[in-house]
């Protein structure tokens, strides 16, 4: 199986994944695929900017798109994936999955009102995309996969085994890798602009897992 991870970029209050930054999502997904037996050489990472400019032929069995801008960022040399581009990708042969903060809704830019994402031909991972991809490897049919959150022990493993994908980033070796130590927000009342409360109470990773990932 050949897999293409398309980084459409994410920008969340607690996670930036726009070059030169790389979010944890592609690394976790790559690690989940490795654990399911997909070979490293069959897992390709491309940013949407590279796909947009090079127009290389895309022939993969599985396409995994990461997207979602929830804060109004302005970027110097990268442009997040557009709805038009997602529609174009939906016509590719093969299985298409999309996830990340886009599960909360799609807006052309952060800070704009977001609409529920729905594009025929692409399955939205409604919870954690890395868990969805992991389970998809057993089910094959996206419609039969249960949407669920990943566990701390899962990302403890996937974060480490997925680090190889960093070398495929266009800014490597100067890519800045966002490290997740926990997610969620411990406050009783939350800031109006923030999507972190959607992750619930803080969910801390094991210190040794983070150290191994580094």
Per CB under 6 A, residues contacting ligand SF4 are 13-14, 185, 187, 190-191, 194, 196-197
Q: Could you tell me which residues come within 8 angstroms of residue 149 by beta carbon, excluding any fewer than 6 positions away?
A: 127, 128, 131
SS3 letters for 133-177?
Answer: HHHHHHHCCHHHCCCCCCCHHHHHHHHHHCHHHHHHCCCCCCCEE
Q: Are 56 and 115 in contact (CB under 8 A)?
A: no
Q: Is 7 helix (H, G, I), strand (E, B) or coil?
A: strand
User: Considering beta carbons, is residue 166 or 194 the nearer one to ligand SF4?
Assistant: 194
Q: How far is the CB of 33 from ligand SF4 (least distance, A)?
A: 30
Q: How far is the CB of 191 from ligand SF4 (least distance, A)?
A: 3
User: Considering beta carbons, is residue 57 or 186 the nearer one to ligand SF4?
Assistant: 186
User: Considering beta carbons, is residue 14 or 44 the nearer one to ligand SF4?
Assistant: 14
Q: How far is the CB of 196 from ligand SF4 (least distance, A)?
A: 4
Q: How far is the CB of 159 from ligand SF4 (least distance, A)?
A: 21
Pull the structure tokens for residue 211: 């150290």
Q: How far is the CB of 85 from ligand SF4 (least distance, A)?
A: 29
User: Considering beta carbons, is residue 115 or 187 the nearer one to ligand SF4?
Assistant: 187
User: Considering beta carbons, is residue 54 or 188 the nearer one to ligand SF4?
Assistant: 188
Q: What is the DSSP string of 31-99?
A: HHHHHTT--GGGEEEEEHHHHHHH------SEEEEEEEE-S----SS--PPPHHHHHHHTTSSSEEEEE
Q: How far is the CB of 189 from ligand SF4 (least distance, A)?
A: 8
User: Considering beta carbons, is residue 75 or 199 the nearer one to ligand SF4?
Assistant: 199
Beta-carbon count within 10 A of 72 CB:
12
């Amino acid at each position: 199986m050949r897999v293409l991870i398309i980084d459409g970029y994410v920008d969340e209050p607690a996670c930036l994944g726009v070059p030169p930054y790389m979010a944890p999502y592609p690394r976790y997904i790559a690690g989940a695929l490795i654990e399911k037996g997909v070979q490293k050489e069959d897992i390709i990472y491309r940013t949407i900017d590279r796909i947009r400019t090079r127009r290389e032929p895309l022939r993969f069995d599985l396409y995994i798109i990461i997207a979602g801008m929830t804060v109004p960022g302005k970027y110097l040399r990268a442009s997040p994936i557009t709805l038009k581009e997602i529609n174009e990708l939906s016509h590719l042969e093969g299985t298409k999955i999309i996830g990340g903060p886009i599960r909360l809704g799609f807006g052309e830019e952060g800070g704009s009102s977001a609409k529920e994402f729905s594009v025929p031909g692409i399955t939205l991972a409604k919870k954690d995309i890395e868990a969805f991809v992991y389970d998809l490897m057993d089910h094959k049919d996206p419609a039969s996969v249960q949407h669920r959150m990943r566990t701390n022990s899962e990302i403890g493993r996937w974060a480490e085994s997925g680090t190889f994908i960093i070398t495929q980033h266009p800014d490597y070796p100067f890519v800045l890798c966002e490290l997740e130590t926990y997610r969620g927000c411990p406050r009783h009342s939350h800031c109006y602009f923030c999507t972190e409360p959607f992750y619930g109470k803080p969910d801390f990773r094991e210190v040794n897992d983070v150290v191994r990932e580094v």
